[in-house]
Every structure is written in C-alpha cells, then in structure tokens.
Structure 1
Amino acid sequence: MRRTEDIVSRIRNFDEIIEIYKKAINKTPNKKDKATYFKLMGFTCLDFYNNLKSAKEAKKYYTKALNLFGEMGDKAGKSACYSGLGKIEYLVSFGTPNLDGLKKAEKYFKLSLEIDVDPASNIHNNVLLGDIYKILGKLNEANNCYRMALKINEKLSEVADNKVKDEKGFINKTSNTSCTL
C-alpha cells in the first residue's frame, strides 16, 4: 500500500491516479486496503473536482469504501467517508440554491460527527456544518457548530502546548549530558 501512495504522490493526472488505485484494488486481497483505496479515489475525485461527473465518481468511490469500512466495523474509515460524502453534497450545492443537496450534506456531516474519533476532522466537519446552517438560515445551529469547532481547536492547542512544554523540560534536563550510541 505504501508503494502505491508513493507513486500517486508524484502524479498530477487525475485519470492516471484513478487507474493506479483501481489496479491496486484488484491486486490486494486485504479488505481494509481496498476500502482505503476506494476512499482515496473519492478524495482524488474531490481534489480534482471540476464538474458533476467527478463529483458522481467521488460519491461512488466513497460509498464503496463506506460499505467496506462498515463491514469491518472501522469507525474512523466510516467517519472519513461520511465526511467526504458531505463535502461532495456541499460543493455540488454551493454554487446553486440546492436545498436537497445541503440537507444531504448536513446528514453526512452529522453522521461523521457522531462516530468521529479524530478531533481535527471534528473541527473541519463542525465548520462545514456551521456553513450549511448559515446558508439555511439556522443561525443558532451555525453558532453552536462554530463554537464547538473553536472549543475542540482550543483543546488541541492546549494539548500541543503542554506536550511542547514537556519536551522543553526534557531538553533542559538533558542539555548538559552527552548522548552516545
């Protein structure tokens, strides 16, 4: 799997990236790897998003990944797929007043937030859900989502600050000792 990701990271051609992932899916017997490749295909379609066709492809790949992650009970994988599906609906709806698409995006972001184990994703999903609520005129809900994103961000910053302080203490304690291998 790592080799495939290394190859893909050097390619900037959408069709070529999708083909590499398709070949990798056909070669691997590992269900988790297949699900991850489908998720990455959805992400790639979203990354190169420039028309409705790529949005439909992204949705197809995220849905396949979601089903596989669901079969395995992989909560983080499911959450990432719900988030990806929410982004698709949001992006497709953003340029036009598409109430149905915004409601679908809202549903997907809520599902992602219900099971999400990644605080950084929670921040992102809360901000996008807040944006949707703002567009829909649900200002209290938007405010709540933005506040939640800020609260999580503050917690992450606090954890990072504490970790840096701990390491700074370690550096100070060991700066007078020499390390030998």
Structure 2
Amino acid sequence: MSSSSGAGNGQFETATVANGCFWGTQHIYDKHFKGRLEKTEVGYTGGKTESPSYRQVCMGTTNHAEACRITFDPAKVGYAELIEFFFRTHDPTQMNGQGPDRGTQYRSAIFYHSPEQKEIANKVMEEIKDKHPLVRQGGKIATEITEAGKWWDGEDYHQEYLDNNPGGYECPTHRLWW
C-alpha cells in the first residue's frame, strides 16, 4: 500500500519502521495506539532477496529488516507522532541490533513512502536528540532513513505473535525510553 493523502475521508497512509524484532515492534504500536491505527503487520523489506522467508532473513544474507508496516488515518494519528514513538521505543544508537538480537535484520530503520515522510522523519530524528537518554549521553543515532521498497509479508504465525503467545520473547529494548 502506498502513501496517500486525504485525511479523514477514508484515505489511509502507510508508515514502515524497523527497530529490532518485529514481534515487539508490532505489539508496542498496537498497544500504545489501540483504536487509532487501521492495521499493523510484520514482514521484510530493505533487502535484495525476492520473497524471503523468516529463516533466510535470520541467516543475515538477504539484508532485509524485520519490519512493521502501519496503516493509519492521518486524521487520527500523524506520521510525526508515529516516528517519534518509533524513537521512544528502542535504542537508535545500536548498529544492526537491539538488545541481544544482532544482525542487519534487527537494524533501526525508517522506510519512507513519500518525500514528505522523509522530511518529517529527518526532522523528528533531529528533535529527539535532546530527548532520548542514550543520545543525550553521547550515543550517535544509527537509524537509517531510506525509501520504502518492496514488502513481503511475514509468515502468518509472526502476525500479532505476542498477542497470540503471551509471555513470548520480547526484545528488552522495546519499551518507552522517555
């Protein structure tokens, strides 16, 4: 789904983010924005392999990120709010990993769907430098901001994984940092 305009008239936009294990990313967005998002789903983007599987992505050879695609109505929640929340819920100073999870599939990335989203993502990233405790302590932001490419849905058992498996593995960096 591509980004579209027309807030409040049934037109939705898409935000795509990656910040570690996609289970936790989807779970924390769904929990925080309950009733304000149209849909979230997990999958793979940013790599070179056609139609990758979870197993292939975890091997680290596809360069895909485990990502969360968020469909939202800009009349209910703005893109900037979704991106600030992205930074609030992980460690953006980690290169290719979050907590104990390591590899390019766990990188911190924003995949923008329009020039406006790119501009907003860069602006929010600049603004959080004074807010995020790890950045204020001297950490450098490793988050990549890149144009959204092809998306592949994650396997069915990954969708809403933590809702379907209470107590399942959740990356310790998926929490509110401020």
Please, what TM-score do these two structures have when normalized by structure 2?
Answer: 0.27
Please, what TM-score do these two structures have when normalized by structure 1?
Answer: 0.26
Structure whose alpha-carbon radius of gyration is higher: 1
Higher share of residues assigned strand:
2
